[in-house]
């Protein structure tokens, strides 16, 4: 069953096609949702009813979407009762979702080197962006960080990237798409840079000359401290940045203003709804330079 909401957001009842659990209570869920799949763009999210007894939906970034097969995929890690209930869903069960929602990433074509920086459950929208940019005129480079084992197949990368020698591994998906990538962790994971993902990205950015830096733009998603560090990196290298934010959401379609955040525009501070004005914002408007 599909209904249209505001012309671009669809309400769908979709069968669960697969639901795979990974160490660290991380789960990848694929749902049949043909309308959302056709329109999904990186940075957008679905608003999912996790359980019949829990009225509040939960927002989850779209990690991948296949418009031909008609599915969307999400990666989640429960922190409370909604996503904990979702872990009990089985293949063949039916879930109700709203999607796709929000303003996603808008790759800057004048800067073809898209530097993707994702942390934890902030990796999904950037994996989606990597897939969409692969084979385009852009040349994405991905840096992903996690303290838990990555909920993906990882492997030694065959794609050259000037980063510290210990950072050997990438995601098998990135390798298959021909997107150079490396992983970071403070958790001692095999083949990972030992530190934060933004430090790994800094190592790589430092290896670039001024001409190469002029081609770069930063795209980030992850926990707030990581987003702040990502914006700090953008500022340090004078690069444009787009950051995907998280905020608690009620309606997720722009009606309640429960998700409003302050951004800093040329006309001064303004409130923006993360659900429909974002979740992707210009990093400089979200984390402006602090005076002094
Ligand atoms: C656009 C977007 C994309 C996201 N993508 C992902 C993703 O891909 N994967 C993923 O795992 N997570 C993602 N999240 C985060 C996820 O939706 C939230 O963390 C969600 O609340 C988790 O649901 P839960 O049932 O596990 O926990 P909840 O029951 O929501 O509780 C989590 C914690 O937050 C507190 N809390 C809940 N609501 C409020 C509120 N209104 N005000 C203050 N505190 C509150 C609770 O007390 C609890 O401590 C995304 C969020 C947004 C906005
Ligand atoms: S959650 Fe209601 S306006 Fe964003």
90-144 pLDDT, tens per residue?
999 999 999 999 999 999 989 999 999 999 999 999 999 999 999 899 999 999 9
CATH code at position 174: 3.40.50.80
- Domain end (from 46, 76, 101): 101
- Domain end (from 244, 259, 283): 244
Query: Where do the H-state alpha helices sit in 207-278?
Result: 210-213, 224-236
The DSSP bridge pattern shows strands 71-76 and 280-282 to be unpaired
Atom of ligand 1 nearest to the CA of 59: 17
**89 closest CA partner among 11, 151, 20:** 20
Please give the Cα distance from 85 to 65 (Å, whole number). 23
Contacts of 266 (CB under 8 A, 6+ apart): none
Residue 22 within a domain: yes
Report the pLDDT value the prediction gives residue 4, as an integer from 0 to 100: 55
Q: Is 249 in the pocket of ligand 2 (CB under 6 A)?
A: yes
- Domain end (from 66, 101, 136): 101
**CA dihedral over 271, 273, 277, 278, signed as positive or negative:** positive
Q: Answer yes or no: pTM beyond 0.85.
A: yes
Range of the domain at 197: 113-244
Report the pLDDT value the prediction gives residue 291, as an integer from 0 to 100: 62
**143 closest CA partner among 121, 172, 118:** 118
Report the pLDDT value the prediction gives residue 8, as an integer from 0 to 100: 85
Please give the Cα distance from 107 to 105 (Å, whole number). 6
Q: Which residues pair with residue 63 across a beta bridge?
A: none
Domain check: are 147 and 172 in the same one?
yes
Residue 106 within a domain: no
Residue 151 within a domain: yes
Domain check: are 97 and 187 in the same one?
no
87 Cα: distance to centroid of ligand 2 (angstroms): 25
Sequence-ordered strand ranges (E) for 107-157:
113-119, 141-145, 154-156
Q: Is 82 in the pocket of ligand 1 (CB under 6 A)?
A: yes
Domain check: are 70 and 187 in the same one?
no
pLDDT, one tens digit for every residue, the chain (292 residues): 555 556 789 999 999 999 999 999 999 999 999 999 999 999 999 999 999 999 999 999 999 999 999 999 999 999 999 999 999 999 999 999 999 999 999 999 899 999 999 999 999 999 999 999 998 999 999 999 999 999 999 999 999 999 989 999 999 999 999 999 999 999 999 999 999 999 999 999 999 999 999 999 999 999 999 999 999 999 999 999 999 999 999 999 999 999 999 999 988 999 999 999 999 999 999 998 876 5
In this structure, which ligand is nearest to the CA of 259? 2
* Domain tally, the chain: 3
**Quick check: 11 and 96 in contact, CB under 8 A?**
yes
């Amino acid at each position: 069953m599909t209904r249209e909401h505001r012309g671009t957001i669809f309400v769908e009842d979709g069968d669960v096609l697969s639901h795979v659990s990974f160490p660290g209570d991380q789960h990848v869920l694929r749902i049949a949702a043909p309308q959302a799949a056709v329109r999904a763009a990186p940075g957008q999210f679905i608003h999912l009813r996790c359980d019949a007894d829990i009225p509040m939906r939960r927002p989850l970034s779209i990690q991948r979407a296949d418009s031909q097969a008609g599915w969307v995929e999400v990666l989640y890690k429960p922190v409370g009762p909604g996503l904990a209930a979702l872990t009990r869903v089985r293949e063949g069960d039916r879930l109700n979702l709203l999607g796709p929602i929000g303003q996603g990433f808008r790759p800057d074509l004048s800067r073809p080197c898209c530097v993707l920086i994702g942390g934890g459950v902030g990796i999904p929208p950037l994996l989606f962006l990597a897939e969409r940019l692969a084979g385009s005129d852009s040349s994405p480079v991905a840096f992903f960080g996690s303290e838990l084992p990555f909920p993906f197949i990882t492997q030694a990368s065959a794609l050259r990237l000037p980063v510290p020698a210990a950072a050997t591994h990438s995601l098998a998906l990135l390798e298959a798409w021909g997107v150079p990538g490396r992983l970071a962790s403070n958790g001692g994971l095999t083949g990972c840079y030992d530190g934060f993902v933004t430090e790994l990205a800094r190592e790589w950015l430092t290896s670039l000359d001024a001409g190469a830096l002029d081609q770069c733009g930063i795209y980030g998603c992850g926990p707030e401290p990581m987003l702040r560090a990502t914006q700090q990196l953008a500022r340090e290298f004078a690069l444009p940045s787009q950051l995907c934010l998280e905020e608690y959401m009620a309606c997720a379609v722009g009606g309640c203003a429960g998700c409003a955040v302050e951004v800093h525009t040329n006309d001064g501070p303004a409130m923006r709804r993360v659900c429909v004005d974002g979740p992707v914002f210009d990093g400089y408007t979200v984390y402006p330079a602090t005076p002094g």
